[in-house]
Chain A
Protein backbone atom coordinates (compact mmCIF):
# COMPACT_ATOMS: atom_id res chain seq x y z
CA UNK A 1 0.00 0.00 0.00
CA UNK A 2 1.42 3.34 -1.10
CA UNK A 3 -1.24 5.55 0.41
CA UNK A 4 -2.03 6.90 -3.06
CA UNK A 5 -5.60 6.36 -4.22
CA UNK A 6 -7.32 7.06 -7.53
CA UNK A 7 -10.92 7.22 -8.67
CA UNK A 8 -12.73 5.92 -10.53
CA UNK A 9 -11.19 2.52 -11.16
CA UNK A 10 -12.66 2.21 -14.63
CA UNK A 11 -14.36 4.68 -16.92
CA UNK A 12 -15.91 4.51 -20.37
CA UNK A 13 -16.38 7.65 -22.48
CA UNK A 14 -17.14 8.44 -26.07
CA UNK A 15 -15.01 10.42 -28.48
CA UNK A 16 -15.31 14.19 -28.01
CA UNK A 17 -16.37 14.01 -24.37
CA UNK A 18 -14.46 15.38 -21.40
CA UNK A 19 -13.23 13.38 -18.42
CA UNK A 20 -11.93 14.15 -14.93
CA UNK A 21 -9.79 11.67 -13.04
CA UNK A 22 -8.97 12.08 -9.35
CA UNK A 23 -6.02 11.28 -7.16
CA UNK A 24 -5.39 11.44 -3.44
CA UNK A 25 -1.70 11.70 -2.63
CA UNK A 26 0.18 10.25 0.28
CA UNK A 27 -0.07 12.47 3.34
CA UNK A 28 2.77 14.98 3.50
CA UNK A 29 3.61 14.75 -0.20
CA UNK A 30 3.62 18.09 -1.99
CA UNK A 31 4.19 16.83 -5.52
CA UNK A 32 1.89 14.85 -7.77
CA UNK A 33 2.77 13.52 -11.21
CA UNK A 34 0.48 12.04 -13.83
CA UNK A 35 1.38 9.35 -16.34
CA UNK A 36 -0.42 7.72 -19.26
CA UNK A 37 0.18 4.05 -19.98
CA UNK A 38 -1.09 2.66 -23.26
CA UNK A 39 -1.57 -1.08 -23.53
CA UNK A 40 1.73 -2.93 -23.76
CA UNK A 41 3.88 0.15 -23.16
CA UNK A 42 5.60 1.80 -20.22
CA UNK A 43 4.06 4.83 -18.52
CA UNK A 44 4.61 8.20 -20.21
CA UNK A 45 4.97 11.38 -18.17
CA UNK A 46 2.12 13.88 -18.68
CA UNK A 47 2.87 16.61 -16.14
CA UNK A 48 3.73 17.32 -12.54
CA UNK A 49 2.27 19.69 -9.95
CA UNK A 50 4.02 21.08 -6.94
CA UNK A 51 2.07 23.07 -4.37
CA UNK A 52 -0.78 23.69 -6.80
CA UNK A 53 1.36 24.88 -9.72
CA UNK A 54 2.43 23.00 -12.83
CA UNK A 55 6.08 22.09 -12.48
CA UNK A 56 6.95 20.31 -15.70
CA UNK A 57 5.14 18.83 -18.67
CA UNK A 58 5.72 15.99 -21.07
CA UNK A 59 4.83 15.83 -24.74
CA UNK A 60 1.05 16.05 -24.33
CA UNK A 61 -1.33 18.59 -25.92
CA UNK A 62 -3.05 21.37 -23.93
CA UNK A 63 -6.31 19.44 -23.80
CA UNK A 64 -4.61 17.50 -21.00
CA UNK A 65 -4.74 19.73 -17.94
CA UNK A 66 -4.52 19.32 -14.22
CA UNK A 67 -5.26 20.84 -10.87
CA UNK A 68 -3.77 20.26 -7.47
CA UNK A 69 -5.72 21.19 -4.36
CA UNK A 70 -4.81 21.61 -0.70
CA UNK A 71 -4.79 18.51 1.45
CA UNK A 72 -3.29 16.18 -1.12
CA UNK A 73 -6.01 15.91 -3.75
CA UNK A 74 -5.53 16.49 -7.45
CA UNK A 75 -7.21 15.84 -10.76
CA UNK A 76 -6.41 15.26 -14.39
CA UNK A 77 -8.78 16.65 -17.01
CA UNK A 78 -8.85 15.59 -20.62
CA UNK A 79 -11.00 17.49 -23.12
CA UNK A 80 -12.15 16.42 -26.57
CA UNK A 81 -11.35 12.77 -25.98
CA UNK A 82 -9.81 10.79 -28.82
CA UNK A 83 -9.71 7.04 -29.30
CA UNK A 84 -5.95 7.05 -28.61
CA UNK A 85 -6.59 8.45 -25.14
CA UNK A 86 -7.69 4.98 -24.08
CA UNK A 87 -5.10 4.01 -21.48
CA UNK A 88 -4.31 3.44 -17.84
CA UNK A 89 -3.82 6.80 -16.12
CA UNK A 90 -1.50 6.77 -13.13
CA UNK A 91 -0.80 9.37 -10.51
CA UNK A 92 2.29 9.32 -8.34
CA UNK A 93 3.08 11.41 -5.31
CA UNK A 94 6.43 12.39 -3.88
CA UNK A 95 7.65 14.43 -0.99
CA UNK A 96 9.05 17.33 -2.96
CA UNK A 97 9.86 18.46 -6.49
CA UNK A 98 13.53 17.85 -5.86
CA UNK A 99 15.37 17.57 -9.13
CA UNK A 100 18.82 17.51 -7.62
CA UNK A 101 18.47 14.61 -5.20
CA UNK A 102 16.60 11.36 -4.86
CA UNK A 103 12.88 11.73 -4.23
CA UNK A 104 10.89 8.55 -4.69
CA UNK A 105 7.53 8.62 -6.44
CA UNK A 106 4.81 6.29 -5.18
CA UNK A 107 2.12 5.29 -7.62
CA UNK A 108 -1.59 4.77 -7.22
CA UNK A 109 -3.46 1.83 -8.75
CA UNK A 110 -4.53 3.80 -11.81
CA UNK A 111 -7.76 4.59 -13.66
CA UNK A 112 -8.51 2.57 -16.78
CA UNK A 113 -10.09 4.89 -19.37
CA UNK A 114 -11.74 3.48 -22.46
CA UNK A 115 -12.78 5.86 -25.23
CA UNK A 116 -15.31 4.51 -27.73
Chain B
Protein backbone atom coordinates (compact mmCIF):
# COMPACT_ATOMS: atom_id res chain seq x y z
CA UNK B 1 0.00 0.00 0.00
CA UNK B 2 1.21 3.51 -0.73
CA UNK B 3 2.50 5.42 2.27
CA UNK B 4 0.67 8.56 3.41
CA UNK B 5 2.05 11.64 5.15
CA UNK B 6 -0.14 13.82 7.36
CA UNK B 7 0.54 16.68 9.77
CA UNK B 8 0.86 15.40 13.32
CA UNK B 9 -1.64 17.88 14.69
CA UNK B 10 -3.71 20.91 13.83
CA UNK B 11 -6.15 23.26 15.51
CA UNK B 12 -9.24 24.77 13.96
CA UNK B 13 -11.96 27.13 15.09
CA UNK B 14 -15.48 25.97 15.78
CA UNK B 15 -17.82 26.88 12.93
CA UNK B 16 -15.02 27.30 10.41
CA UNK B 17 -14.01 24.87 7.69
CA UNK B 18 -11.24 22.44 8.60
CA UNK B 19 -8.90 21.44 5.77
CA UNK B 20 -6.86 18.32 6.48
CA UNK B 21 -4.06 17.60 3.99
CA UNK B 22 -2.60 14.23 3.07
CA UNK B 23 0.30 13.38 0.77
CA UNK B 24 0.39 10.04 -1.03
CA UNK B 25 2.94 10.59 -3.77
CA UNK B 26 3.47 6.87 -4.49
CA UNK B 27 -0.19 6.07 -5.03
CA UNK B 28 -0.89 3.84 -7.99
CA UNK B 29 -3.69 4.19 -10.49
CA UNK B 30 -6.26 1.91 -8.93
CA UNK B 31 -5.66 2.62 -5.24
CA UNK B 32 -8.40 4.31 -3.25
CA UNK B 33 -7.96 7.10 -0.72
CA UNK B 34 -9.95 6.51 2.47
CA UNK B 35 -10.47 8.79 5.44
CA UNK B 36 -11.42 7.59 8.90
CA UNK B 37 -11.48 9.37 12.21
CA UNK B 38 -11.18 8.09 15.73
CA UNK B 39 -12.60 9.85 18.71
CA UNK B 40 -10.81 9.01 21.93
CA UNK B 41 -11.02 5.30 22.80
CA UNK B 42 -13.73 4.57 20.24
CA UNK B 43 -13.53 2.53 17.03
CA UNK B 44 -12.50 4.32 13.83
CA UNK B 45 -15.40 5.95 12.02
CA UNK B 46 -15.57 5.89 8.22
CA UNK B 47 -15.81 9.37 6.71
CA UNK B 48 -15.36 9.21 2.96
CA UNK B 49 -13.31 7.65 0.17
CA UNK B 50 -12.46 8.37 -3.44
CA UNK B 51 -10.45 7.21 -6.43
CA UNK B 52 -10.01 10.11 -8.84
CA UNK B 53 -12.97 12.43 -8.60
CA UNK B 54 -13.83 14.75 -5.75
CA UNK B 55 -16.42 13.31 -3.41
CA UNK B 56 -18.92 14.81 -0.97
CA UNK B 57 -21.22 13.27 1.59
CA UNK B 58 -23.09 14.46 4.66
CA UNK B 59 -19.91 14.47 6.75
CA UNK B 60 -17.21 15.90 4.55
CA UNK B 61 -15.75 16.59 1.12
CA UNK B 62 -12.70 14.92 -0.35
CA UNK B 63 -10.60 16.81 -2.87
CA UNK B 64 -8.05 14.72 -4.79
CA UNK B 65 -5.47 16.48 -6.94
CA UNK B 66 -5.39 15.69 -10.62
CA UNK B 67 -2.10 13.77 -10.29
CA UNK B 68 -3.58 11.95 -7.25
CA UNK B 69 -0.44 12.55 -5.22
CA UNK B 70 -2.28 14.42 -2.50
CA UNK B 71 -5.75 14.98 -1.14
CA UNK B 72 -7.59 17.22 1.30
CA UNK B 73 -10.42 16.32 3.61
CA UNK B 74 -12.73 19.24 4.25
CA UNK B 75 -15.04 19.44 7.24
CA UNK B 76 -17.26 22.33 6.18
CA UNK B 77 -18.34 23.60 9.61
CA UNK B 78 -16.22 22.12 12.37
CA UNK B 79 -17.87 21.46 15.71
CA UNK B 80 -16.35 20.49 19.05
CA UNK B 81 -17.49 16.90 18.37
CA UNK B 82 -15.15 16.78 15.37
CA UNK B 83 -12.16 16.73 17.70
CA UNK B 84 -10.48 13.41 16.85
CA UNK B 85 -7.53 11.73 15.15
CA UNK B 86 -8.04 11.70 11.39
CA UNK B 87 -6.44 8.96 9.32
CA UNK B 88 -5.76 9.16 5.60
CA UNK B 89 -5.29 5.68 4.15
CA UNK B 90 -4.39 4.49 0.69
CA UNK B 91 -5.96 1.10 0.24
CA UNK B 92 -4.21 -1.23 -2.11
CA UNK B 93 -6.13 -3.11 -4.73
CA UNK B 94 -3.77 -6.00 -5.40
CA UNK B 95 -4.68 -9.51 -4.40
CA UNK B 96 -1.68 -9.49 -2.08
CA UNK B 97 -2.89 -6.34 -0.34
CA UNK B 98 -6.30 -7.86 0.12
CA UNK B 99 -8.80 -5.64 1.83
CA UNK B 100 -6.68 -4.53 4.78
CA UNK B 101 -6.32 -0.94 5.89
CA UNK B 102 -2.83 0.29 6.78
CA UNK B 103 -3.11 3.07 9.34
CA UNK B 104 -0.38 5.64 9.88
CA UNK B 105 -0.12 8.11 12.72
CA UNK B 106 -2.96 10.35 11.58
CA UNK B 107 -3.59 14.02 12.32
CA UNK B 108 -4.78 14.98 15.77
CA UNK B 109 -7.40 17.69 15.20
CA UNK B 110 -8.49 19.92 18.05
CA UNK B 111 -11.55 22.08 17.41
CA UNK B 112 -11.51 25.13 19.66
CA UNK B 113 -14.49 27.30 20.67
Contacts and interface: CB of A to CB of B under 8 A. Distances in A.
Contact of A45 (B44, B94, B100): B100
Contacts, number: 77
Interface in B88-113: 91-95, 97-106
B29 interface: no
Nearest to A43: B103
A42 B103 contact: yes
Nearest to B49: A102
Nearest to A31: B99
Q: Main SS of chain A's interface residues? A: loop
A7 interface: no
Interface residues of B, number: 28
A74 interface: no
Interface stretch (A11-19, A64-72, A78-86, A91-99): A91-99
Given A58-B100, A103-B99, A43 B44 contact: yes
Interface residues of A, number: 33
A115 interface: no
A33 interface: yes
A105 B104 contact: no
Contact of B93 (A33, A43, A101): A101
A56 B93 contact: no
A110 B51 contact: no
B3 to A, nearest CB: 13
B43 A110 contact: yes
A73 interface: no
13 contacts: A2-B43, A35-B101, A41-B105, A48-B100, A92-B101, A97-B99, A99-B94, A99-B97, A100-B95, A102-B32, A107-B36, A107-B44, A107-B45
